[in-house]
């Protein structure tokens, strides 16, 4: 039988209602521990010789269903769920690296990811180098003899630069590096890095996977079962697990992912067009705008542009913040992917931990704003921006 389309997998994969008394919605296993019929069964379970659930830090049916669904959506062999996006990032890196190893990173990174890399360097001797990744030579120049991992954001938060994953994969395979891609800004509906040859895909599931602003969670999807198995002990022992209830909410959110991403993308291209024509706006960065410098790469590896736009205004930080303060419909808040349109000032909010000189090298200037376009009527979003830009 032909594999169902992604829109169908989002709703149905991995769940048979008849196995749970006909319940249309997957049940929530809100439990911390599990009972054994005999002491021997408990012994075998702890020795890894039984499929019996033991303890929800080690596995839970609701969480496992989410992991199985995310794995098939990204085209991976296995997935692991975490209590936050940063728990996913830190567990993946700590599982793949040891003291003395080196990471090549995309030049732009989420502020907390940058903070984690700095901590790994200062405390554990795991070094990193930021790289433009425009060519294989860029990657080779940024690497060392101890490079083990290439860590990529695409689109990059918050500058919306696009990294050509084919270039990254080509260099990584020649050198034996593991390629890790943060796919948060696209979701598996719009981009599938594993299909392009990458090894691990990360999501802050807080964002588009959830879609409703009521969960903090992370996902890592691995191309091979062996990669996932090397990460399970780290997740078990560091404890950054996902709760069953959060997994249940994410399964609910996944059902509408395709519909939501279509609407986010449709709204965003209209808002980007409006911003480009406004005299108070200096530059607009949206990957599916035809004048975006990486447009040809974006259209090659992404289905649509998703819902995040960054733009600079004519003026300084105070003027940028003043625009935010004049908004009424649009909320000032970090995060993205919610039904509500959100705006934030990266230099003083999500990327405040990054030193100013490095922020500016990343393209994060004081007059830059990041807009997560929501699901409201586009005309109302534009009207609010028009009033605030004045």
Write a three-state SS string for 175-231. HCCEEEEECCCCHHHHCCHHHHCCCEEEEECCCCCCCCCCCCCEEEEECCHHHHHHH
The H or E element that residue 369 is part of is strand 368-372
- List the catalytic residues: 57, 110, 182, 207
**Token couple for 49:** 């010789």
DSSP per-residue letters across 55-67: BTTT--HHHHHHH
Q: What is the pLDDT of residue 48?
A: 86
Instruction: Tell me the mean pLDDT per 10 residues along the chain, length 390.
Output: 88 94 95 94 90 93 98 98 98 98 96 97 98 98 98 98 98 98 98 98 98 98 98 96 98 98 98 98 98 98 98 97 98 98 97 95 96 98 97
**At 371, is the secondary structure helix, strand, or coil?**
strand
- Cα 289 from Cα 298, distance rounded (Å): 10
Domains 6-255 and 257-389 share a fold: no
Evaluate whether 56 touches 234 at the Cβ level (below 8 Å): no
Evaluate whether 269 touches 276 at the Cβ level (below 8 Å): no
Evaluate whether 201 touches 220 at the Cβ level (below 8 Å): yes
What are the residue boundaries of the structural domains of the chain, listed by start? Answer: 6-255, 257-389
**Token couple for 201:** 């895909």
Q: What is the pLDDT of residue 2?
A: 77
Evaluate whether 55 touches 32 at the Cβ level (below 8 Å): yes
How is domain 6-255 classified at the CATH fold level?
3.40.640
Architecture of domain 257-389: Alpha-Beta Complex (3.90)
């Amino acid at each position: 039988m032909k594999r169902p389309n992604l829109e169908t997998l989002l709703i149905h994969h991995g769940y048979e209602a008849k196995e749970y008394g006909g319940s249309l919605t997957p049940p929530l296993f809100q439990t911390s521990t599990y009972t054994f019929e005999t002491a021997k069964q408990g012994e075998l379970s702890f020795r890894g010789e039984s499929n019996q659930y033991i303890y929800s830090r080690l596995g839970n049916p609701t969480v496992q269903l989410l992991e199985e669904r995310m794995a098939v959506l990204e085209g991976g062999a296995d997935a692991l769920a975490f209590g936050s996006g940063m728990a996913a990032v830190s567990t993946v890196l700590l599982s793949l690296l040891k003291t003395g190893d080196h990471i090549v990173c995309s030049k732009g990174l989420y502020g907390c990811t940058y903070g984690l890399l700095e901590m790994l360097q200062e405390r554990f001797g795991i070094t990193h180098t930021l790289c433009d990744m425009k060519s294989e030579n860029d990657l080779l120049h940024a690497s060392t003899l101890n490079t083990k991992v290439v860590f990529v954001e695409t689109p990059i938060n918050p500058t919306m630069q696009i990294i050509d994953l084919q270039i990254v994969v080509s260099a990584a395979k020649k050198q034996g590096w593991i390629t890790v891609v943060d796919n948060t800004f696209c979701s598996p509906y719009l981009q599938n890095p594993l299909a392009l040859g990458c090894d691990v895909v990360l999501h802050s599931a807080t964002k588009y996977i959830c879609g409703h602003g009521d969960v903090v969670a992370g996902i890592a999807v691995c191309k091979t079962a062996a990669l996932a198995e090397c990460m399970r002990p780290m997740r078990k022992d560091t404890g950054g697990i996902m709760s069953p209830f959060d997994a249940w909410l994410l399964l609910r959110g996944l059902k509408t992912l395709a519909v939501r991403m279509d609407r986010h993308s449709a709204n965003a291209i209209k808002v980007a067009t409006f911003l480009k024509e406004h005299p108070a706006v200096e530059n607009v960065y949206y990957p599916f705008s035809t004048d975006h410098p990486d447009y040809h790469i974006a259209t090659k590896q992404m289905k649509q542009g998703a819902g995040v736009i960054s733009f600079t205004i004519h003026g300084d930080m105070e003027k940028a913040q003043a625009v935010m303060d004049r908004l009424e419909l649009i909320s000032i808040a970090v995060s993205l992917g919610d039904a509500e349109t959100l705006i934030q000032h990266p230099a003083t909010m999500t990327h405040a931990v990054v030193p100013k000189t490095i922020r500016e090298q990343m393209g994060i200037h004081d007059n830059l704003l990041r807009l997560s376009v929501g699901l409201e009527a586009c005309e109302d979003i534009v009207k609010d921006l028009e009033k605030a830009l004045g």
